[in-house]
Amino acid sequence: MLEKPKEIILIVNFKGQYSRIIARRVRELFVYCEIVGFEDAFNAIKTKKPKGIIFSGGPDSVFLKDSPKINKEIFSFNIPILGICYGAQLIVKEMGGLVEPAKTREFGTVKTEFKTSSLLFSGLKVSFNTLMSHTDEIVKLPENFKVTAKSKTTKIAAFEDSEKKIYATQFHPEVLDTEFGEEIFKNFLFKVCRCEQNWHMEDFIKNTVKEVKKKVGDKKVLLALSGGVDSCVLAALLQKAIKKQLTAVFVDHGFLRENEAKEINSYFKEWEMNFVFVDASEIFLEKIKGVKEPEEKRKIIGKTFIEVFEKEAKKIKDVEFLAQGTIYPDIIESGENNKKSTIKSHHNVGGLPEKIKFKEILEPFRFLFKDEVREIGKKLNLPERIVNRQPFPGPGLAIRIIGEITKEKLEILKKADHIFRKEVEKLKEKPSQFFAVLLNTKSVGVMGDCRSYCYNLALRAVETKDFMTARVFAMPIEKLEQISKKIVNNVAGINRVLYDVTTKPPATIEFE
Ligand code: XMP
């Protein structure tokens, strides 16, 4: 479905938490890369013939019996390799050196000294900070390898066999805590691997439009539009390619934020495609009545979504293709968990292809990261409010109302959340994600001369890059007080506002 650049860098994932960050670093330098699990790496390298290979870090010790390994044969393929942390230790072990448990675990940034005669560090300063995170240490290098960096605590912080084009760092060049990480990747990609910078979104748009036209011919395509970034950008791209052969169906489950359904309806009606807006809010509310348990809510909403969508889809005759806004992290996640399915489990349309028979599923974004999808959206002139939309869970406000959902609670939350978001949007520095949650508790208050007994509202605002971990956004207390006043004065049913000060982990970003 996607014409990939001829050159590819393969990132071998040894169960490391930073594999995706490595992939982002490579793509930011306009080089195409894919992540492959260590079990599949050997075959992938043979078939994809990458220009270079990067071994990720990982949580294991290389000398354990069951730790991730790789077929040693790849060291003789003459393909440049960059090993990072666990990847570096694996190179040492497999090629005849020695790795041992360190006396103390090393975590944090440390001043590191470099040999700039190494191609990997050429043009850099001779000393800068790197991030170390390891419990084992390399004590002896394999034959022909040379040390290229050291720190006070780590004698072998980087090493290489430049003849064999094998390079390795004990530290993590992919994280921002390591200075000049980008330069290290540039050196590896352009000086060692001699890659070209040929991964550009303009080309992606051009190629995908061409391919979609060719593949779809004069047939019809159906798209479930969720209002989120991925499906909106996909709609824009498909519209460019096939115009009226595309039908986008938007199912309003009623759990969207204030005014959102209306805005989506009026925005997409103007597009040169068939747009079907289904107001199913009453159906969803009825099905969810009395349900308190979060996972059950999600399941019911997912199932109801499929039923409603299926009914609408059947009205459109002879549709051969279903388009989905699946993106690369969804694929990586399902691969990492060893699940067969490549359909977004988070996504509303999970389960659709099994229910309705389509000739083919179109997933043009299956190798793209979110930022890349956003860039495509910008290049296709989608408005800022769609392209930079905050993540919003498929089940919507239904999982931001703790416990049972009623129409009354939904209205209260919509109003309060709207006030909160409008206020936060005025801030110069905004959090990555922010929303209100209606708690399932009531408390006593005094309003005027009267006693009140109303709902409590929690406000959540977090700082995050990847949404896997999150810090609490330091909202000024005066601002919080002002927001609280505004909410309590304007939203009947709330008399107390709380600010969530929990990081992820241990809490998740959403409450349910
Ligand atoms: P958690 O709550 O797991 O959320 O820390 C991480 C990010 O994912 C979003 N989220 C979802 N997105 N469907 C989605 O499309 C869902 O069911 C869902 N649940 C959580 C959440 O808003 C946050 O950005």
CATH of the domain at 335: 3.40.50.620
Distance between Cα 367 and ligand 1 center (Å): 20
pLDDT score recorded for residue 337: 40
Same domain, 380 and 346: yes
Kindly state the tokens that stand for 488: 């309590």
Residue 395 located in a structural domain: no
Residue 393 within any structural domain of the chain:
no
Give the ligand 1 atom nearest the CA of 344: 15
- Chain Cα centroid distance, residue 10: 19
What residue type is 255 in one-letter code? Answer: F
Q: What is the C-alpha radius of gyration for the chain, rounded to an integer number of angstroms?
A: 26
Does ligand 1 come within 6 angstroms of the Cβ of 370?
A: no
Q: Write a three-state SS string for 293-344.
A: CHHHHHHHHHHHHHHHHHHHHHHCCCEEEEECCCCHHHHHHHHHCCCCCCCC
Q: Is the CB of 391 under 6 A from ligand 1?
A: yes
Phi/psi of residue 23, each to 5°?
-60, -40
At position 138, the amino acid (one-letter code) is: I
Residue 433 Cα to ligand 1 middle (Å): 11
Query: What whole-number distance in Å separates Cα of residue 222 and Cα of residue 275?
Result: 10
How many domains does the chain contain in total? 3
335 lines ligand 1 (CB under 6 A): no
- Structural tokens at position 29: 């330098």
Q: Whose CA is nearest to atom 14 of ligand 1?
A: 393
CB of 227 closer than 6 angstroms to any ligand 1 atom: no
Instruction: Please name the amino acid found at residue 482.
Output: Q
Q: Which of 297, 389, 509, 511 has most ligand 1 atoms within 8 Å of CB, for mutation?
A: 509
Return the H-helix or E-strand segment holding 147.
strand 146-151
Q: What angle do CA 398, 401, 406 make, to 5 degrees?
A: 75
Query: In a mutational test of the pocket of ligand 1, which residue from 303, 324, 510, 511 has the highest number of ligand atoms less than 8 Å from its CB?
Result: 510
* 207 shares its domain with 188: no
218: phi then psi, degrees, rounded to nearest 5? -105, 20
- Cis-peptide into 101, omega within 30 deg: no
Q: Which two tokens stand for residue 443?
A: 């408390």
Ligand 1 mean position, distance from CA 358 (Å) = 28
Q: Residue with structure tokens 């000294």?
A: 113
Residues 265 and 170 in one domain: no
Rounded to the nearest whole angstrom, what is the distance from the C-alpha of residue 419 to the centroid of ligand 1? Answer: 22
Q: Are residues 186 and 208 in the same domain?
A: no
504 lines ligand 1 (CB under 6 A): yes
The closest residue, in CA terms, to atom 18 on ligand 1 is 393
**Separation of 410 CA from ligand 1 center, angstroms?**
19
With respect to residue 507, please indicate whether it lies within any of the assigned structural domains: no
502: CB partners within 8 A, 6+ apart: 472
At which of 175, 192, 209 does a domain end?
192
| Number of the ligand 1 atom closest to the C-alpha atom of 394 | 13
Q: Is 467 in the pocket of ligand 1 (CB under 6 A)?
A: yes
Residues 164 and 206 in one domain: no
Q: Cα of 348 to ligand 1 centre, how many Å? A: 12
**Which residue of 296, 298, 300, 346 sits with most ligand 1 atoms within 8 Å of its CB, as the best mutation to test the pocket?**
346
pLDDT score at 335: 55
- Judge if the beta carbon of residue 389 lies within 6 A of ligand 1: no
Task: Report the nearest-CA residue for atom 19 of ligand 1.
Answer: 393
421 lines ligand 1 (CB under 6 A): no
- Asked if residue 434 lies in contact with residue 424, where contact means CB atoms within 8 angstroms, the answer is yes
Domain co-membership, 375 together with 423? no
Q: Residue 337: CB partners within 8 Å, gap ≥ 6?
A: none
Same structural domain, 171 and 206: no
Structural domain boundaries, residue 160: 9-192
CB contact set of 508 (below 8 Å; sequence gap of 6+): none
Is the CB of 508 within 6 Å of ligand 1? yes
**CATH number of the domain to which 35 belongs:** 3.40.50.880
What is the CA(510)–ligand 1 centre distance, in A? 6
Domain end call among 331, 361, 387: 387
Six token digits for residue 117: 């005669």
Q: Does the CB atom of residue 433 touch ligand 1 within 6 A?
A: yes
Residue 166 lies in a domain: yes
CATH number, domain with residue 493: 3.30.300.10
Ligand 1 atom 15: residue of nearest CA: 393
Asked whether residue 46 falls in the same domain as residue 179, the answer is yes
pLDDT of the residue at 346? 42
In this structure, are 36 and 89 located in the same domain?
Answer: yes
Token match 């489950």: residue? 253
Q: Is residue 446 part of a domain?
A: yes
The tens place of each residue's pLDDT in the chain, 512 residues long, gives 556 677 999 999 998 878 989 999 999 999 999 999 999 999 999 999 999 999 999 999 998 889 999 999 999 999 999 999 999 999 999 999 999 998 878 889 999 999 999 999 999 999 999 999 988 999 999 999 999 999 998 999 999 999 999 999 999 999 988 999 999 999 999 999 999 999 999 999 999 999 999 999 999 999 999 888 999 999 999 999 999 999 999 999 999 999 999 999 999 999 999 999 999 999 999 999 999 999 999 999 999 998 999 899 889 988 999 999 989 887 776 554 443 333 233 444 455 666 667 888 999 999 898 899 999 999 999 999 899 989 899 899 999 999 999 999 999 999 999 999 999 999 999 999 999 999 999 999 998 889 999 999 999 999 987 787 889 999 999 999 999 999 999 999 999 999 999 998 899 999 99
Which positions are annotated as active-site residues?
85, 172, 174
Q: Which residue's alpha carbon is at the smallest distance from atom 13 of ligand 1?
A: 393
pLDDT of 333 reads: 64
Tell me whether residue 279 is in a domain: yes
* Distance from Cα 251 to the centre of ligand 1, integer Å: 19
142 lines ligand 1 (CB under 6 A): no
Q: Tokens in use for 140?
A: 């002896």
* Residues constituting the chain: 512
> Do 187 and 207 fall into the same domain?
no
